[in-house]
Amino acid sequence: MYAHEQFRHDVKRSLEKALGKRVDDSMILVPPNSAFGDLSTKIAFTLGGNPKEQAIKLAKKIKPEGHISEIKTEGPYINFYLDFKKYSHKVLSDALKKDYGKSGYGEGKIIIIEYSSPNVAKSFSIGHLRSTIIGQALVNMHKAMGFKVVPLNHIGDWGMQFGKLIVAWKKWGDKKAFAKDPIKELTRIYVKFHETEDIALINDARETFKKLEQGDKEATKLWKLFCEYSLKKFEKVYDRLNVDCKNYDGEAKYVLNGGTKRVIDITRKMGLAEKEEDGSIVVRLEKYGLTNLLISKSDEATLYATRDLAMAIARHEKFCNAEKLVDEHIEGWKNVYVVGNEQSLHFKQVFKTLELMGHSWAKDCTHVSFGLITIPGIGKMSTREGTVIILEDVLDKAEELAEKIIQKKNPKLPNKKKVAEMVGIGAIKFADLSQNRLRDISFDWDKVLSFEGDTGPYLQYAYVRCNSILRQTKKTKSDPHELAHPAEIALLKKIAEYPNIIKESGLSYSPHVLSNYLIDLVHKFSEFYEQCPVIKAESEGLKGARIELVMSTKNTLKNGLSLLGIETPERM
């Protein structure tokens, strides 16, 4: 049990002993002002009579234990103060361990996280960056909490766009250009298709996609070719981003294995779906306050929704039942979709349809949405209109700009290119992950790559500063009891929060919670660095304790940035 958790446990246990009954966790609070203690309880409000009098009466019965040094009342609140000498020793002991922050909170629980999900035969655009890095951060945090994590990349490898691409390839495709850069050539002909207003060509695309769904050999051969080259291109991007997102789960599988047909058959037999006059099939959802869900077009072609329904059912059967989690009401199952805000209605429709089909586990399916990402001067991106910003171009620019800054600051650094890669890509990731995911993001290159302010490079530089201090010191006997300066106490308390921050950030699917914690940690470290000399500490015991405080900061910062998918250079 980590120090922060241990103190909370001590407070809860002391309250329960005094009351002679269990105390709910919600009764224990962090006061808005540290003058009112390190933890507080509002339980006096629940005891009847005058809350202030009840608080005084109860406080007299509580005996300090563990990490509790003192108990005071303030109106109806009972405030608990840390025994900092005991606490500091425990915090440093925890934070110096390599795997600091990891826990068994999620042990025995499964979480499937679908993220990234780029579209085959299209360039990996900056529009897919958010899903990719938010999803990877959530994967990392849930693994740190002990969950069994199943990361899935739901590739967009099916749909009407393939009818258009096949027709466009036959009409305008250039084999030499394809051999040189397959995705660039496929994007070119896709844009060209959408520039035409030839009705015959559009009808041909619809017919071609229908043939693909029916297993036409020529259409299937081209489709497989487009998929093969796309995945190779995607994997290069994932390698640059240090993202492990190669567990592919494409849409096509659920069409080809009959999953979508079963969904249509079941919903019709259950009376959930009806055939319209034009031959299309719709799930009726009006009475639930939702738009009806189209699951089959008039030409019998399936849609995203049909494939998502089939996929969700297959996932539950494969990953849940395989772990013998046969009780559909079990709390150990989560299916998370990291997809943009614009798909909010779609997921409400899909989850409601699953529920109506009798799958009570639909309540454990969650849409983790996020806003758009833009670069000033360019509006919403569109492959059809040829206004996509290629992610690799953005990464190249970030690394180039980072290298120029490093060259200016530290021209003698031996591995500038590698450090520039860490800094540039880390800057892009942190600029995104430090924002509330629901907001739209506009990139500002000067701000993103700044070594000052609340940026990725600023945090990486703090890590390098820790290294610099430690290189100038030798390990000596430590006495954490000598840590008494307000800056030391503030930094140590902040380090102690880290394991709980992982839990808070991960369970709320909010990487910005962890990001903002790391910013605050570095602010506290800067205050400590300015006010508390390490090398010239007043005593050997204090010097040793301050060295351990620097080491703990370094370890916490490295582990936290690693969960966000950001590397930490040893020098900058």
Determine the 3-state secondary structure of 62 from DSSP: coil
Nearest CA to 295 among 250, 354, 209, 337?
A: 354
CB 97 within 8 A of CB 64: no
pLDDT reading at 309 higher than 60:
yes
Listed range (51-65, 105-119, 224-238, 321-335) with the worst mean pLDDT? 321-335
Give me the pLDDT at residue 301, please: 82
Q: Which residue has the tokens 């880290």?
A: 498
Is pTM beyond 0.95 here? no
- Asked if the model's pLDDT at residue 554 lies above 60, the reply is yes
The answer on pLDDT for 36 being more than 60 is yes
- Residue ranges of the chain that CATH labels 1.10.730.10: 401-563
Nearest alpha carbon to residue 114 among 135, 87, 130: 135
- How high is the pLDDT of residue 452? 77
One-letter amino acid for residue 154 of the chain: H
Tokens in use for 539?
């005593």
Whether residue 540 has pLDDT greater than 80: yes
Q: For the chain, what percent of residues have pLDDT higher than 70?
A: 95
Arithmetic mean of pLDDT, 130-142: 97
Q: Which of 128, 131, 137 has the alpha carbon at shortest distance from 114?
A: 131
Distance CA 349, CA 305 (A): 8
Element (H, E) at 355: helix 344-356
Region 401-563: CATH code:
1.10.730.10
What is the pLDDT, as a whole number, of residue 451? 72
Show the beta-strand stretches assigned E in 75-193.
77-82, 110-114, 148-152
Say how far apart CA 310 and CA 314 lie, in whole Å.
6
Residues of the chain with CATH 3.30.1360.70: 3-82
CA pair distance 324, 189, nearest whole angstrom: 48
pLDDT band at residue 176 using 50, 70 and 90 as cut-offs: very high
In this prediction, residue 320 has a pLDDT band, given cuts at 50, 70 and 90, of confident
Q: Is the dihedral of CA 435, 102, 480, 567 positive or negative?
A: negative
For residue 449, what is the enclosing H or E element? none
Rg (CA), the chain: 28
Q: What is the pLDDT of residues 376-389, one digit of tens each?
A: 655 444 444 445 67
Q: Which of 112-116, 196-200, 564-568 has the lowest mean pLDDT?
A: 196-200
d(CA 408, CA 536): 31
Does residue 329 have a pLDDT over 50?
A: no
Which amino acid, residue 424?
G
- The partner residues of 125 in beta bridges, in order of sequence, read 390
The 3-state DSSP class for residue 373 equals strand
- For 115-374, CATH gives 3.40.50.620
Q: What is the pLDDT of residue 385?
A: 45
Note the pLDDT of residue 324: 47
For residues 310-318, average pLDDT = 91
The mean pLDDT of 83-103, rounded to a whole number, is: 95
Within the chain, all domains assigned CATH 3.40.50.620 are found at 115-374
- Name the DSSP class of 216: -
Long-range contacts of 224-229 (CB under 8 A, 24+ apart): 226/120, 226/121, 226/162, 226/165, 226/182, 226/186, 227/120, 227/121, 227/155, 227/157, 227/252, 229/182, 229/183
Q: Which CATH superfamily is domain 3-82 in?
A: Arginyl tRNA synthetase N-terminal domain (3.30.1360.70)
